[in-house]
Chains A and B, each alone.
Chain A
Amino acid sequence: MSPKTLYDKIWDAHVVQQDDDGTCLLYIDRHLVHEVTSPQAFEGLRMSGRTVRAPEKTIAVPDHNVPTTLDRASGVIENEESRIQVEALDKNAREFGVHYYPVNDVRQGIVHIVGPEQGWTLPGMTVVCGDSHTATHGAFGALAHGIGTSEVEHVLATQTLIQKKSKNMKVEITGQLRPGVTAKDITLAVIGATGTAGGTGYVIEYCGEAIRSLSMEGRMTVCNMAIEGGARAGLIAPDETTFSYVKGRPHAPKGAQWEAALAWWKTLYTDEGAHFDKVVTLKGEDIQPVVTWGTSPEDVLPITATVPAPEDFKGGKVDAARRSLEYMGLTPGMKLTDIEIDTVFIGSCTNGRIEDLRAAAAVLKGKKIKDGMRAMVVPGSGLVRAQAEEEGLADIFKEAGFEWRLAGCSMCLAMNPDQLAEGERCASTSNRNFEGRQGYKGRTHLVSPAMAAAAALTGRLTDVRELI
């Protein structure tokens, strides 16, 4: 048998049927659902008299629209369209009998944080969701990617997806990271090196010593942004770190099933000599804390650098850079550390997990944020929030001057009231710095949680290494 990549192995284990032209019917083990992209899909089922084929493999949670203020448990959602979408999910989840974590459930949170936390996401699975950041779940060695609303309906009805296989790409991070450098810096550095289209047509497998050394939280951060690099999915082979994270989670296998699962999971790695269509290698030691200066996630530079000029680029990127600089209100040549910010957002499915909050709290401990700074922490789930309170992190944030919010997507995409005002500038731990993403004419600099905390203290983009 010819050697296979991890992607090949998971793919092969899920092919129901293959046509002559390579189109496959792929079986889906887990289907995650949120309130924005699912209403029409459920409606479609209803109109055609269909049911959800595997409600026990379908998990729904409202996250994009939910308010994150402390009063949300008592009140209704003020924005009517948001409220209707959340209510629709409530109704659909109950009517079709899928697993559901409503707004007032402590386990509610961002769908990509809830799935792993509850043990729904397991190695070797196929996982889909009507959301591009489904790539997050690849951290477990699960083949996970986003789908559109018609496909959501297709999966609900058939538990399969019509798919063609992508190409294999290997991204290797050798050696070790230096202090102050995190998973977020890895994933941004990779996008900086390959561009936002560098992964188009591929499924990426991240490997190398620096990846192996990451916690599950860090691995999820890396895979989360595979999509910003253009890839369909990101993968990391499961290992002891994975198994010990999964063990004991509510929906993880137990007893004899655990042993059987473990035996299979241990076969999920890329065979020696397997073929990759593209290989990218970065040295862990070379990666520095990075920030984005523009309006594309590929606009990444080490914090020690200066703002580039449009002429530094080639082709179509010259105009794009000019437009970005204008939108961001930046002058070429200025130091990135001179960029003043007024808002800090710590949260999202990229960096809303416990380890992210620990990293930020470590920088903030015993300190106060700059006067006039608006800073908020939005934990990725109710359970992350509870754990952070137990560990005393919440107090550190509150004493430093941060708002301590309830779980949801919040200012990552500003579909709820958490938005930047026109011209406001934010150091954000989220994943997209597109124009208007965090609010109309809002300006976003993507950073790691530690870098976001550092910026909150000084009021400008800051090299966290100076503070640790």
Chain B
Amino acid sequence: MEKFKKLTGIAAPMPLVNIDTDMIIPKVFLKTIKRSGLGVNLFDEMRYDRDGNEIPDFVLNKPQYREAEILVAGDNFGCGSSREHAPWALQDFGIKAVISTSFADIFFNNCFKNGILPIVLPPEQVEVLMKDAEKGANARMTVDLEAQEITTSDGQVFTFEVDAFKKHCLLNGLDDIGLTMEKSAAIDSFEAQAAQSRPWI
């Protein structure tokens, strides 16, 4: 998993509430054998018409937001299913942080597993950030995980909460696998001892 420390990037505003996992990545794209490559179909039904042409009005199709790395979203982002395809699609597109007043629980956890930082802030602060994002590509926002701070393009600072363990994992790019790999010495010595006691394995 990629490390997340501090990010200065373009934030795209998506004020719609209740954006669910089917909107993030529609069901028809789940038969893939990959978790990469889902980015082109991120928000597919909002992003393309039936013939596959881009809908120019959709935020991520606008020239100033095509390189967005942060989403500022309406309430209850990521509700619906538990499948990891939703964070896989966001991550593949290049989204590294999502800011909202609230997230669906499972989606929230899945984000951390996939190197995405979901940030919960009070409505009035999300509103300020939404306005800031609406300014377009020159309005770069900074998300600093270490300091737990978001800085708007004009220098306003908001602090946010994050679970200490999850913060540690993101800062160091550790998923479950990464964490277990930190214990590789213990696994090595278990294997060495098993090779003695149960050599037929």
A125-B201, A260-B199 known; A40+B33 contact, CB < 8 A: yes
Which of A57, A85, A158 gathers most chain B CB within 10 Å? A158
Measured CB to CB, the nearest residue on chain A to B198 is: A264
CB distance from A436 to the nearest CB of B (A): 16
Stretch at the interface among A42-50, A212-220, A348-356, A427-435: A42-50
Interface string of B140-180 (1 = CB under 8 A from A): 00000000000000000000000000000000000011001
Residues in B with CB closer than 8 Å to A29 are 201
Q: Are B33 and A160 within 8 A (Cβ)?
A: no
| Chain A interface (Cβ < 8 Å from any Cβ of B) | 13, 16-17, 25, 27, 29, 39-40, 43-44, 47-48, 50, 53, 57, 81, 84-85, 88, 122, 124-125, 150, 153-154, 157-160, 162, 252-253, 257-258, 260-261, 264
Residues in A with CB closer than 8 Å to B201 are 29, 57, 122, 125
Residues in B with CB closer than 8 Å to A81 are 31
Q: Are B33 and A88 within 8 A (Cβ)?
A: yes
CA distance in complex: A125, B198 (Å): 10
CB distance from B188 to the nearest CB of A (A): 10
Q: Are B36 and A47 within 8 A (Cβ)?
A: yes
CB distance from A241 to the nearest CB of B (A): 19
Residues in A with CB closer than 8 Å to B186 are 16-17, 25
3 tightest A-B CB contacts, nearest first: A39-B33, A253-B200, A257-B200
Residues in A with CB closer than 8 Å to B96 are none
CB distance from A266 to the nearest CB of B (A): 14
Residues in A with CB closer than 8 Å to B6 are none
Interface of A is mostly: helix
Tell me the chain B residues, 22-50 only, with Cβ under 8 Å from chain A.
31, 33-36
Residues in A with CB closer than 8 Å to B184 are 158
Q: Is B58 an interface residue (CB 8 A)?
A: no
Number of inter-chain CB pairs below 8 Å = 74
Size category, B interface: 20 to 34
CB distance from B169 to the nearest CB of A (A): 14
Q: Are B34 and A39 within 8 A (Cβ)?
A: yes
Q: Are B33 and A84 within 8 A (Cβ)?
A: yes
Residues in A with CB closer than 8 Å to B194 are 27
Q: Are A150 and B35 within 8 A (Cβ)?
A: no
CA distance in complex: A49, B113 (Å): 17
CB distance from A94 to the nearest CB of B (A): 15
Q: Are B33 and A27 within 8 A (Cβ)?
A: no
Q: Are B33 and A260 within 8 A (Cβ)?
A: no
Q: Are A162 and B35 within 8 A (Cβ)?
A: no
CB distance from B145 to the nearest CB of A (A): 20
Residues in B with CB closer than 8 Å to A84 are 33
CA distance in complex: A84, B183 (Å): 35
CA distance in complex: A150, B197 (Å): 30
Which of B84, B181, B197 gathers most chain A CB within 10 Å? B181
Q: Are B198 and A157 within 8 A (Cβ)?
A: no
- Chosen A-B contacts, 16 in total, with CB atoms closer than 8 Å, are A16-B186, A27-B187, A27-B190, A27-B194, A40-B33, A43-B36, A44-B177, A48-B1, A50-B177, A81-B31, A84-B33, A85-B33, A122-B201, A125-B201, A154-B177, A162-B176
CA distance in complex: A42, B191 (Å): 23
Instruction: Return the contact of A162 from the options B33, B180, B200 (Cβ within 8 A).
Output: B180
Residues in B with CB closer than 8 Å to A264 are 197-198
Q: Are B187 and A158 within 8 A (Cβ)?
A: yes
Q: Are B35 and A44 within 8 A (Cβ)?
A: yes
Instruction: Return the contact of A160 from the options B1, B36, B113, B180 (Cβ within 8 A).
Output: B180
CA distance in complex: A43, B200 (Å): 31
CA distance in complex: A150, B106 (Å): 15
CB distance from B45 to the nearest CB of A (A): 21
Residues in A with CB closer than 8 Å to B33 are 39-40, 43, 84-85, 88
Measured CB to CB, the nearest residue on chain B to A43 is: B34
Instruction: Return the contact of B187 from the options A16, A40, A44, A50 (Cβ within 8 A).
Output: A16
Q: Are B177 and A261 within 8 A (Cβ)?
A: no
CB distance from B178 to the nearest CB of A (A): 8
Interface string of B4-36 (1 = CB under 8 A from A): 000000000000000000000000000101111
CB distance from B85 to the nearest CB of A (A): 9
CB distance from A130 to the nearest CB of B (A): 13
Residues in A with CB closer than 8 Å to B197 are 264
Instruction: Return the contact of B199 from the options A13, A48, A158, A257 (Cβ within 8 A).
Output: A257
CA distance in complex: A316, B176 (Å): 38
A44-B35, A84-B33, A125-B201 known; A150+B183 contact, CB < 8 A: no
Q: Are A16 and B190 within 8 A (Cβ)?
A: yes
Instruction: Return the contact of A25 from the options B1, B180, B198 (Cβ within 8 A).
Output: B180
Q: Are B176 and A154 within 8 A (Cβ)?
A: yes
Which of B1, B33, B186, B201 gathers most chain A CB within 10 Å? B33
Q: Are B183 and A40 within 8 A (Cβ)?
A: no
CB distance from B3 to the nearest CB of A (A): 12
Additional pairs, 4, CB under 8 Å, beyond known A16-B183, A47-B35: A27-B191, A150-B84, A257-B199, A257-B200
CA distance in complex: A257, B197 (Å): 11
